[in-house]
Structure 1
Amino acid sequence: MAERVRRIAGVADVERVEPPDSSALLQLVARGDEQAFEKLYGIVSAPVFGLVRRIVRDPAQSEEVTQEVMLELWRTAARYAPERGSAMTWVMTLAHRRAVDRVRSAQSATDREDKAFRRETTRPFDEVAELVNTRLEHEQVRRCLASLTDLQRESVELAYYRGLTYREVSELLDTPLGTIKTRLRDGLIRMRDCLGVTR
């Protein structure tokens, strides 16, 4: 119950004023009573905004949603059934639904934009083209290996295709380690030049 101060003959008198009944106002709004709507707006707009703000978070969006709720309240007031609960509960339910709808809508828009971006930036994988490129690269490596001397090719194949260490290649070929390193270095330089690899 609110209080209103009256001044009668210079003496302050406190008068108790009953707040307007939201349920009765809502029923008047259902009949198109604009003054009742103004009063109802004054009662519910702040709590509606507070609820919407907690859900939506963004202040500007919260204001928009609050206005949408108030507009929906004006249009659908006839749907309010007092026997199902208080007017404030009904209004706050409308507000909650609208706020959740806005959050879902914003999330859906973000998801659509992300999906569209990924679709535009991700080139489709062409398995056949990839297979052809791999075969061409293998063929080029074989051709370049064939251009090496027998000693270079043998050292490169043992070290890089069979996975032996330089020392194991040296022992297997019964050749000094320094010679194996030189063969491998020279062979790799020729392979690099043949494959067109730049440093």
Structure 2
Amino acid sequence: MAERVRRITGVEGVPAREPEPGELLQRVARGDEKAFERLYDIVSAPVFGLVRRVVRDPAQSEEVTQEVMLELWRTAARYAPEKGSAMTWVMTLAHRRAVDRVRSAQSATDREDKAYRRETTRPFDEVAEQVSTRLEHEQVRRCLASLTDLQRESVELAYYRGMTYREVSELLDTPLGTVKTRLRDGLIRMRDCLGVGR
């Protein structure tokens, strides 16, 4: 507390003028650590407030604030008083850092999402599905081959060409009851051959 009073109090108890952030930045540019401490005291709270509004996450906001303060220490010599106030310059640095953090986090999220989508839709899944479908088709063909010619013909007309039982009956010039029997018997044999309902 005594040091703080000494810092604020000038000669003979007259309060000394608190240096402006621009003056402090110029001294920081020359490597003045005490000036940096004073600058830190002045700007860290406003910087954190701005960063917090952009980044939202408190822990990340603290990290970004520390990054901004480190950048101030390293780049103080770049501050040009003729281009604007020191606070404007500091807050611009803070805003840029905060936006960079948000973009970086979004990019990381996008990369993770993209990697996840790539993992869940890999080409080998498509290949496995195609192989499975081909095997099923081959099994159906084998089972169809196990039917009698009359059963196979009736099943193919009714189920692969989409004809009604009556249309199959007329096309084959066979009584409707006979066509129904062939279809029923053929489908039972197909079901047994395919292992459906086991």
TM-score, normalised by the number of residues in structure 2: 0.75
Higher deviation after alignment, 21-30 or 107-116: 107-116
Q: Deviations for 1:53-91, whole angstroms, at most 9, x for unmatched residues?
A: 122111110111011101111121111111111111111
Q: For residue 107 of structure 1, what is the aligned residue in structure 2?
A: 106
Higher deviation after alignment, 116-125 or 87-96: 116-125
SS in 1 for 2:123: coil
Q: For residue 79 of structure 1, what is the aligned residue in structure 2?
A: 78
Contact 2:165–2:176 (8 Å) recurs in 1? no
Distance in 1 of aligned mates of 2:122 and 2:89 = 51
Which 5+ residue runs of structure 1 have no aligned equivalent? 1-15
Q: For residue 9 of structure 2, what is the aligned residue in structure 1?
A: none
How far the C-alpha of 1:171 sits from its partner, in A, is 4.2
Higher deviation after alignment, 116-125 or 80-89: 116-125
How far the C-alpha of 1:40 sits from its partner, in A, is 1.9
| 2:176 alignment partner AA | P
How far the C-alpha of 1:139 sits from its partner, in A, is 3.9
Higher deviation after alignment, 25-34 or 58-67: 25-34
How far the C-alpha of 1:136 sits from its partner, in A, is 4.9
Distance in 2 of aligned mates of 1:120 and 1:89 = 46
Return closer, same or farther for 1:194/1:113 CA change in 2, 3 Å cut-off: same
Greater per-residue helix proportion: 2
Distance in 2 of aligned mates of 1:193 and 1:148 = 11
Distance in 2 of aligned mates of 1:87 and 1:133 = 69
How far the C-alpha of 1:125 sits from its partner, in A, is 4.0
Return closer, same or farther for 1:17/1:171 CA change in 2, 3 Å cut-off: farther
Q: For residue 59 of structure 1, what is the aligned residue in structure 2?
A: 58
Return closer, same or farther for 1:130/1:34 CA change in 2, 3 Å cut-off: closer
Q: For residue 6 of structure 2, what is the aligned residue in structure 1?
A: none
Contact 2:139–2:194 (8 Å) recurs in 1? yes
Return closer, same or farther for 1:128/1:86 CA change in 2, 3 Å cut-off: closer
Q: For residue 175 of structure 1, what is the aligned residue in structure 2?
A: 175
1:68 aligns with 2:67: yes
Distance in 2 of aligned mates of 1:55 and 1:182 = 75
| 1:72 alignment partner AA | E
Q: For residue 31 of structure 1, what is the aligned residue in structure 2?
A: 30
| 1:58 alignment partner AA | D
Percent of pairs with identical residues: 86
Which 5+ residue runs of structure 2 have no aligned equivalent? 1-14
